[in-house]
Amino acid sequence: MVQELVSLNSLLAGQSARVGKIVGRADHVHRLEEFGIRGGTKVQMFQPGNPCIVRLAGSKFCLRADDLLRVFVRPS
Amino acid sequence: MPPASEQAAWNVALIGNPNTGKSTLFGAMVGVHQRVGNYPGVTVEKKTGEYTFEDGRYELVDLPGLYSLAPRSRDEMVAVDLLIPRRADAAPVDAVVCVVDASNLQRHLYLVSQILELGLPTVVALNMLDVAGDHGITLDATRLEQRLGVPVVPLQANRRIGIEPLRTALASIVGQASRAPESPFPEAFQREVTQVESELADRPVSESENRPLPRYLVERLLLDVNGYLQGVLLGEDDRESAQRVAQSRARLQEAKLEIPGVETASRYGWAEQILEGVVTQPREYRRTTSDRIDRVLTHRFWGMLLFALVMVVLFQAVFSWAEPLMGLIEDGMGMAGRWVESGMQPGPLRSLLVDGVIAGVGGVLVFLPQILILFLFIAVLEDCGYMARAAFLMDRVMVRVGLSGKSFIPMLSSFACAIPGIMAARVIENERDRLTTIMVAPLMTCSARLPVYSMLIAAFIVPNHTFVFGLLSLQGLVLTSLYVLGIVTAVVAALVLKKTILRSEPTPFLMELPSYKWPSARTVCFRVLQRGWVFLRCAGTMILAISIVVWAALYYPHDSETVEPPFRQRQEAVETRLEALSADDPAGAELKAELVRIENEMAGAYQRQSVLGKMGQWIEPVVRPLGWDWRIGCAVLASFPAREVVVATTGVIFNLGEDFDSEAEEDGKLMRARLRAATREGTDRPLFTTPVALSLLVFCALCAQCAATLVVIRRETNSWRWPAFTFSYMTTLAYLGAMATYQLGTWIAGL
């Protein structure tokens, strides 16, 4: 079953998801991708909120979502 | 090609993502033989170190931590320039050590892929295998080495495991011919790069260098859409080249090769192939100790509470632990002054040494304990990984003034001194956020304001007023309000700047939270000493120079012909009367006191006709609305180069003649008494009423009285425009604030 895309911010603590789509200016999106957050990567919410803390592979990073940059994910 | 002589060293660049243990590895490789300098022409710190291995000398450069070799800021351009020199005089790099974090190899291979494309001899240092193990990740280093085609050395830099193998691997590759560069990009993209490369072939890489742009930079020109690199490489005027780049991008877009998405897709695609069968990821990541700590420290409530606690302890330490050390330094300076005084004849040279050099240098040295303690805290918090959490917590607050959590560390450092604070703003990628942070950082109450505050508060705020069962004193309350005034003004100034001249789109706030670790004593000590030294050198030389200039402005022209005659007459008259009296006549003491008074009046007259005194009288109409007379104006004017000078100049100006210096231990109290006794000239109304003292305090809190800060702003922004702006806006604010305080204060007092 194909899950619907939801905003990364709506994940609950401990919930995992795969990145579906990143919306924002090309260079901002590029930076996020260089960081390792790109379509298909598995992420796990660590601390919800804004900014939130997300786990990605062996590392954690924090990210503030605003109108300029939004990450949409498919919860798994 | 081997080094030309025994003296020449192999140049090796150390590169890697932030938080990979790169600096720890650097320390382990070179030991204490490290230097900090600047890259030519820019103020980015260049950390280099040397070691010898099997009769070869190696010079290691620790580059700033990077996620990608795509320059977006000066820091990143420095790294690119070092690897692919544009300047003819820059020594090319003989080898690259790329440090990667084994617990997140896929992301780290992104940078590796960019470095391999340069074709330089490369070693991959595989660090943090222990952390990867904790996460349940296993990997096969030998297989990774085969796939990458360059040496891979597993190591644990923090425990000095694998350092010798890394040195051996480096020795085996330096001097090798460059490898054939590998490109992970699809062929259509590579063809396009080749075409643009030939189109731009007649365009020299720089004005002095007549060779074309290296291929990697051409590729970056196509990929970097934010315009930074284009500005650096092509400048504003080269429309033709810019046009070619734009056309090429359009062609790529048509061929369904998204710019810049093609880069991440290609490089991660390559990384996946490399890692296939090399790394096994666990199904579920194990909970690490870091995670458990973060549950509390990044918690919305408990995290904030602990953060507040950390800040309280930090400031408590800065102000109370430093106290005894500061007292020791002050005593030492006082002793040095008396020693010089007792050993020299009075005259310009003695005056210069005591009032200029010792008072000036002492003024700086006194802050050193506070600054070292603050840096110690910052270094420990940074090294253990807490600073990133603090930035995360503060982002929620900072975003309201239009900045991000990354502006927090510069602001915090500015409580010790604005200079390191402004330098710490380098980590902010958004140029306008960085500028805003730099502009408001000098409003934070730095330690140089403290002596000014304590002098005036001690003299004019009634000490025995306490509230809340004696827990709060009026003096403490005034001091706290001055700190709050600085913070509030900074917040408002940041808001206004971000809404007007520095308006920009917010940059996404994205930051890695490194795993917690025990701070390494070596790293912390080194950082504290290094920053302390930078402060001493920068502020010390500047303040020494200023002290001498201020001293000279108060001493010269020292024209005894015009100043002394009227006093000489009175002096002689009193002396004749004194001689006529017998030795035990009680009137003798009275006459002697009269002589001291004349002496002081003469010193005052000398000051009035000194260069600075004339300037003070000249600006008096300007400072009158603030409740000041020419003497306060003078003291403030003299302290524009360095605000801590205000204490010294106030002392000199309010007739603390040389006679009083011998009673140095009583100096503090005497100064207070003198200030309280000061009257408006020609009247017996006290000069320093509470509104006047408060107006002076507010002025000192808001004014840009620090030449060193302005010079650093000039260095960091590469233009005189920003220091000029900072100076004007802060001085205007200070003037208006002081005027409002005085006028309001007098009005309230008159009610």
How many whole angstroms separate alpha carbon B726 and alpha carbon B189?
47
How many whole angstroms separate alpha carbon B12 and alpha carbon B60?
5
Crossing angle of helices B431-440 and B707-717, in 10° steps, is: 180
Chain B CB contacts of A56 under 8 Å are 104, 107
Chain B CB contacts of A23 under 8 Å are none
Residue ranges of the domains in chain B? Answer: 10-173, 187-256, 302-522, 559-606
What is the average per-residue pLDDT within B574-585?
A: 80
Chain B CB contacts of A35 under 8 Å are 67, 107, 510, 512
Chain A CB contacts of B400 under 8 Å are none
With tokens 């005089």, the residue in question is B89
CB-CB contact of B672 with B718 (8 Å) = no
Structural domain contains residue A70:
yes
Domain that holds residue A35: 6-75
| B214-245 pLDDT per residue, tens | 888 889 988 888 778 888 888 777 788 888 88
pLDDT above 80 for B181:
no
Q: Which amino acid is at B258?
A: E
**Of B398-412, B501-515, B571-585, B715-729, which has the strongest mean pLDDT?**
B715-729
Chain B CB contacts of A59 under 8 Å are 101, 103-104, 107, 512-515
What is the average per-residue pLDDT within B685-690?
A: 80
Q: Of B68, B103, B395, which is closest to A64 when you measure between CB atoms?
A: B395
Q: What is the ipTM of this complex?
A: 0.93
Tell me which chain A residue has its CA closest to the CA of residue B136: A58
- What is the model's pLDDT at position B659? 41
Tell me which chain B residue has its CA closest to the CA of residue A66: B508
Q: Of B298, B388, B510, which is closest to A47 when you measure between CB atoms?
A: B298
End-to-end CA distance of chain B: 86
- What is the model's pLDDT at position B43? 54
Please indicate whether residue B562 or residue B29 has the higher confidence score (pLDDT): B29
Strand bridging mode A16-24 / A69-75 = antiparallel
pLDDT band at B419 (very low <50, low <70, confident <90, very high): confident
A57 touches chain B (CB under 8 A): yes
CB-CB contact of B217 with B203 (8 Å) = no
**Which one of 3.40.50.300, 3.30.70.100, 3.30.420.40, 3.40.50.720 gives the CATH number of domain B10-173?**
3.40.50.300
Interface mutation vs chain A, best among B20, B281, B285, most A CBs within 10 Å = B285
Tell me which chain A residue has its CA closest to the CA of residue B101: A58
Distance from CA of B297 to the nearest CA of A (A): 11
Strands (E), A1-76: 6-7, 16-24, 42-47, 52-56, 59-63, 69-75
Strands (E), B315-455: none
- Cα B490 to Cα B52, B509, B725, distances in angstroms: 50, 21, 15
Strand bridging mode B138-139 / B279-280 = antiparallel
A51 touches chain B (CB under 8 A): yes
Structural domain contains residue A1:
no
Q: How many domains does chain A have?
A: 1
Q: Do A57 and B399 touch (CB under 8 A)?
A: no
What does the DSSP 8-state code read for residue B385? T
Interface mutation vs chain A, best among B513, B515, B516, B517, most A CBs within 10 Å = B513
Residue B67 CA, chain-centre distance (Å), reads: 23
Which one, of B320, B491, B480, B318, lies nearest residue B415 by Cα?
B318
Phi/psi of residue B495, each to 5°?
Answer: -60, -45
Q: What average pLDDT does chain B have?
A: 82
Distance from CA of B126 to the nearest CA of A (A): 15
What element of type H or E holds B80? Answer: helix B74-83
Strands (E), B201-241: none
Q: Which amino acid is at B225?
A: V
| B300-338 pLDDT per residue, tens | 899 999 998 888 888 777 767 777 888 888 888 888 888
Query: pLDDT tens per residue, chain A (76 residues)?
Result: 456 889 998 899 989 999 998 888 888 888 889 888 888 888 999 999 888 999 887 788 999 877 778 899 999 8
How many whole angstroms separate alpha carbon B598 and alpha carbon B218?
79
Sheet of A42-47: strands edge to edge?
A6-7, A69-75, A16-24, A42-47, A52-56, A59-63, B510-513
Q: Do B131 and A58 touch (CB under 8 A)?
A: yes
pLDDT above 90 for B270:
yes
A70 touches chain B (CB under 8 A): no
CATH code of the domain covering residue A12:
2.30.30.90
Which one, of B554, B691, B704, lies nearest residue B628 by Cα?
B691
| B618-676 pLDDT per residue, tens | 888 999 999 898 888 888 888 887 787 777 667 666 654 444 443 444 455 566 677 77
pLDDT band at B437 (very low <50, low <70, confident <90, very high): very high
CB-CB contact of B460 with B688 (8 Å) = yes
pLDDT above 70 for B363:
no
- Cα B555 to Cα B5, B352, B423, B739, distances in angstroms: 57, 9, 36, 30
Chain B CB contacts of A24 under 8 Å are 508
CB-CB contact of B421 with B712 (8 Å) = no
Chain B CB contacts of A29 under 8 Å are 261
| B478-503 pLDDT per residue, tens | 888 888 899 899 999 999 998 888 88
pLDDT above 70 for B364:
no
Tell me which chain B residue has its CA closest to the CA of residue A71: B508
Structural domain contains residue A13:
yes
A35 touches chain B (CB under 8 A): yes
What is the average per-residue pLDDT within B512-537?
A: 82
- Do you know the residue count of chain B? 751
pLDDT above 70 for B257:
yes
- Cα B116 to Cα B83, B95, B145, B171, B216, distances in angstroms: 12, 11, 13, 18, 11
